[in-house]
Amino acid sequence: MILAPSILSADFARLGEAVQAVERGGADIVHVDVMDGHFVPNLTIGPDVVKALRRSTPLPLDVHLMIEHADRWLDAYVDAGASWVSVHVEAVPHLHRAISHLRSRGVQPGVALNPATPLSTLEEILPELHHVLLMSVNPGFGGQKFIPAALDKIGRLKAMIHDRGLSTKIEVDGGVGAGNGKALLQAGAEVLVAGNAVFAGGDPEQGVRDLRSACS
Ligand code: DX5
Ligand code: ZN
């Protein structure tokens, strides 16, 4: 299990402290939600903040690009220090080019799918991916309710990966917490993103520990 706290739910005035707290709590990677106010109805952070985060923690940065024209921004986020980069299938017309480019830059490439986007969109690109990020809420905001249909989607994606003899990781993002983490892992997820579940209690270090023990 790879636990990826989402700093979308952190205090943006204290991001450095937030990543250090989740690091002490045992987080594996840090999930960074990039939103452009176009692809999703919210605006968050850009490459300079990723660069600053890179200086604040040794943990890998898992950058989730919820932006239009993501292909134009890949180098900026790689240069800023991203370790994993996910682009939305709904936002990138030349997906193969984007994924190949990320790989050539030495980062782990992934594709993200909105809740209503079918797994069939992965058919051709799956062998090229390090991970698939399945959205279990409609992207744009932290603290939303998990969409139950995502559980079945994880299982079907797991079967698709297994049938092809691949080792692509399944990352689940949105509404993940102590109440459903274990079921998500059992269904085939390997990477759990959690914003609210880690930060809402006000002690993210403990939040990471609690989530991990609830999932084991
Ligand atoms: C939603 C983001 C998520 C979000 C998850 O658009 O992609 O990463 O931070 O937050 P929670 O865990 O609070 O649903
Ligand atoms: Zn995300």
Give DSSP secondary structure letters for 150-204. Answer: HHHHHHHHHHHHHHTT---EEEEESS-STTTHHHHHHHT--EEEESHHHHTTS-H
**How far apart, in Å, are the Cα atoms of 5 and each of 96, 163, 164?**
28, 30, 30
Q: What is the pLDDT of residue 211?
A: 98
* Cα of 20 from ligand 1 centre, angstroms: 19
* Cα of 64 from ligand 2 centre, angstroms: 5
Per-residue pLDDT reduced to its tens digit, 167-197? 999 999 999 999 999 999 999 999 999 999 9
Residues 6+ apart with CB under 8 A from 162: none
Q: What is the pLDDT of residue 144?
A: 98
* Cα of 139 from ligand 1 centre, angstroms: 7
Pocket test for ligand 1, best of 173, 176, 184, 192 (most atoms within 8 A of CB): 173
| % of the chain with per-residue pLDDT over 70 | 100
124 and 50 Cβ atoms separated by less than 8 Å: no
63 and 85 Cβ atoms separated by less than 8 Å: yes
Catalytic residues: 33, 173
Q: What is the pLDDT of residue 147?
A: 98
Listed as ranges, residues in the chain with pLDDT below 50 are none
Q: Where are the alpha helices (DSSP H) in the chain?
A: 15-25, 47-56, 74-80, 95-104, 149-163, 181-187, 196-199, 204-215
Angle (CA) 152-153-158 rounded to 5° is 100
Q: What is the pLDDT of residue 53?
A: 98
Q: Given phi > 0 = left and psi -120 to 50 = alpha, else beta, which region is 140?
A: left
Pocket test for ligand 1, best of 29, 66, 193, 210 (most atoms within 8 A of CB): 193
CA nearest neighbour of 111 among 53, 153, 70 = 70
Burial per residue of 169-202, b for 16 or more beta-carbon CB atoms within 10 angstroms, e otherwise: bbbbbbbbbeebbeebbebbbbbbbbbbbbbeee
Cα(190)–Cα(52) distance, integer angstroms: 27
Q: Which residues line ligand 1 (CB under 6 A)?
A: 6, 8-9, 31, 33, 64, 137, 139-144, 173-176, 193-197
Q: What is the pLDDT of residue 196?
A: 98
Ligand nearest to the CA of 42: 1
Burial per residue of 103-118, b for 16 or more beta-carbon CB atoms within 10 angstroms, e otherwise: eeeebbbbbbbbeebe
Please tell me the pTM assigned to this model: 0.98
Q: What is the largest CA-CA distance in the chain?
A: 46
Q: What is the pLDDT of residue 142?
A: 98
* Cα of 88 from ligand 2 centre, angstroms: 11
Q: Which atom of ligand 1 is nearest to the CA of 8?
A: 9
Q: Which atom of ligand 1 is nearest to the CA of 136?
A: 14
Ligand nearest to the CA of 10: 1
Cα(83)–Cα(77) distance, integer angstroms: 9
Q: What is the pLDDT of residue 28?
A: 98
Q: What is the pLDDT of residue 183?
A: 98
